[in-house]
A and B are shown apart, each in its own frame.
Chain A
């Protein structure tokens, strides 16, 4: 009997497990992995090839690689080898090819003129200059802008140039010319160096702090005021304040935009009093922040309102009666009886919303997209921009993932901390408000 019941339990758990694995563990592990790569649109997400481009040479030069070596890599050389001779033979006849092979086979010329001079001296030399140039072209050997699928092909190609590279130089060259992604910790060192990191961290603190304050205090205000209203009016107000949450975010934010556009409601309204029209959302950084906090705040406050309302209604009515006959005014009742008993719901909402605000960016993305400038660019939005909506067009998967990983780590640490504070076992054991 024991085994089937165990399986039953597993069966019930399975959907949850699948969801946790697919939508939590997998993304977290992938984020953690990608954070330690330099993946981007450039590198692609599959493997790469070896290709030396003028750009690579330029980069190597700025890194202080030997200039002579680089010059050699850049210039074309002419090498009399079998593939060249074969091509020459099919185009201009065996005789010329054979003679050139016999006289100069294996020789490398540093410029085209040298090779042309050598060909001119041959018996079977081409008659016209045009043909001469064409013949020489068959032996042009360059490594620039050529793709090699493997490193060994690339290395042998450099050898073919007649370059004699030291192993360490060869390694630098291979690394620089690799077009795929590689493992690296550079994302994190870059993060500590970039001034924008500090900016988005500061923005995140502003965003979380003010939105949270608004959420909790406005949620409390709504819960307490609707508690004292008669039933139907209270239900109506709660429904109205719940609308932002049940509205699709895009429509909700669109309505805010409509409200704040320079041809929108606010501008039109104030236009009546001679105030020049402006975009009330993006006019200044301050405007943007106020709108962002209100947009997020009204959504968050509804959740606080619901939770606080039910917590207040869980307070036994005689306790409120008692405080009234004890002489407490409404305000004193709120201050001394209701608020102290909402301690746990308030703490819960605060911690829960801190976490969700840290990682949320959808309303900012829809409203200001981090603007004006980068004034409202928060950490999560920045991660999104870097990885998935980069303005430059080169999506920095690696760097974006690194940014996201920081959030994941902060979130996990905070969650563990909150569970400690709440003494989770006690919290799920018994409602706090009962006597």
Chain B
């Protein structure tokens, strides 16, 4: 079911957390609300499920205006960060709870719970209490409980934050599988760009209560609209160089290096300050725009090594290369930047 937030505003006391936000989520889509903590992504999620009221704007599920509907009547399933399972009920009772509330017949409840348990693969755990479950199992129960009454929308609030690294990987694909299998419209709130990129059809990246960019993960990575987006996506993160425009070239601070600005130059005038974003995979020995520097840090990732290179002017570039390249800490290197893939931003951080 399509979700439409229309100039949504939320205030807590005197503080306006979100102002006039618009968001259109397509039916059957899984969308990530990505951003640093405090950016308003959970607030948006709580507004969609009705736990927090909205202080302005409209919320539409499909064609239905649910702005003033209490959460009980919105038919949304929510998975909370700490799963919020009911500790005094066993797994079966937890999953059955939304149906029990609706006073459905015993046979129906039995059937639906069984089906859900199969979907999330916890059939053998139905008699256990939540405390007897591992994090991943609790997560599956929470998912089953959210989905059992066939909600129009599934909301996931940092569902993987409490899991260890390996389980996180497993549950990532598991949640995506279940979402695709049920075809439900889902919103995932996360601060982890890897989660957002790997699980979702589209990402809405938020900062300071605003959606900064809304696009597919690949597009967002390649084509960020601002330095904030560029910096938030990508691991290891992008490196920024500051410089000044002169003769359609960018002169890096305090150094000799000039970077030609293909295509971007028209938009800027001489003397303007700009910022160049260079992702680690585009700073390697084989590229042609050479810069000199000294290796200040080496991080082994197994398949690859990450190098921090300090340039003459003190700026740092990051490079990711195959592990077989043998470089030493403190070594002077002259590596190249892939000129086609430089992301240029103006003084305000807007993409050029």
Binding site for B on A (CB under 8 A): 316, 318-319, 321-329, 332, 336-337, 340-341, 343, 433-435
Give the interface size bracket for B toward A: 20 to 34
- Bound state CA distance, A323 and B50, in angstroms? 12
Q: Is the CB of A318 within 8 A of B82?
A: yes
19 sampled A-B residue pairs with Cβ under 8 A: A316-B82, A316-B84, A318-B84, A319-B84, A321-B46, A321-B71, A322-B78, A323-B97, A324-B51, A325-B77, A326-B98, A327-B102, A327-B149, A328-B72, A336-B86, A340-B88, A340-B89, A433-B87, A435-B87
Tell whether, in the assembled complex, residue A325 and residue B85 are in contact, meaning their CB atoms are under 8 Å apart: no
Apart from the given pairs A324-B51, A326-B101, A328-B97, 8 other A-B contacts in the complex at a CB distance below 8 Å: A322-B84, A325-B50, A325-B51, A325-B74, A327-B102, A329-B72, A329-B101, A336-B101
Quick one: given A435-B82, A435-B130, are A336 and B77 in contact (CB under 8 Å)?
no
Q: Determine whether the beta carbon of A324 is less than 8 Å from that of B131.
A: no
**A327 and B101 in contact, given A318-B81, A322-B80 (Cβ under 8 angstroms):** yes
- What are the residues of chain A within 8 A of B51 when measuring CB–CB? 321, 324-325
Q: Tally inter-chain residue pairs, CB-CB below 8 A.
A: 72
Query: Which residues of B are found within 8 Å of A325, using beta-carbon distances?
Result: 49-51, 71-72, 74, 76-78
Give bound CA distance, A201 to B88, whole Å.
38
Asked if residues B72 and A327 are in contact (CB atoms below 8 Å), the reply is: yes
Which of B74, B77, B80: most chain A CB closer than 10 A? B80
The 7 closest A-B pairs by CB, nearest first: A318-B84, A322-B84, A326-B98, A318-B80, A340-B88, A319-B84, A325-B78
A337 touching B102 by the CB < 8 A rule? no
Chain B residues within CB distance 8 Å of chain A: 46, 49-51, 70-74, 76-78, 80-82, 84-89, 97-98, 100-102, 130-131, 145, 149
Q: Which of B70, B100, B101, B130 has the most CB of A within 10 A?
A: B101
Contacts of A319 in B (CB 8 A): 84-86
Contacts of B77 in A (CB 8 A): 325
Beta-carbon nearest neighbor of A315 in chain B: B87
- Least Cβ–Cβ distance between A314 and chain B, in angstroms: 12
Label chain A's interface by main secondary structure: helix
The residue that A328 contacts in the complex, of B84, B101, B131, with Cβ under 8 A, is B101
Distance of A321 Cα from B71 Cα, bound (Å): 9
In the bound complex, CA of A61 to CA of B86 (Å):
77
Distance (whole angstroms) from the CB of A316 to the closest CB of chain B: 7
Which residue in chain B gives the minimum CB-CB distance to A319?
B84
Residues of chain B with a CB closer than 8 A to A318's CB: 80-82, 84
A324 to B84, alpha carbons, bound, how many Å?
Answer: 12
A432's nearest neighbour on chain B, judged by CB, is: B87
* Complex Cα gap A404–B84 (Å): 50
Q: How far is the CA of A353 from the CA of B49 in the complex (A)?
A: 42
A327 / chain B contacts, CB cutoff of 8 Å: 72-73, 98, 101-102, 149
Contacts of A332 in B (CB 8 A): 101
**Chain B minimum-CB-distance residue to A341:** B88
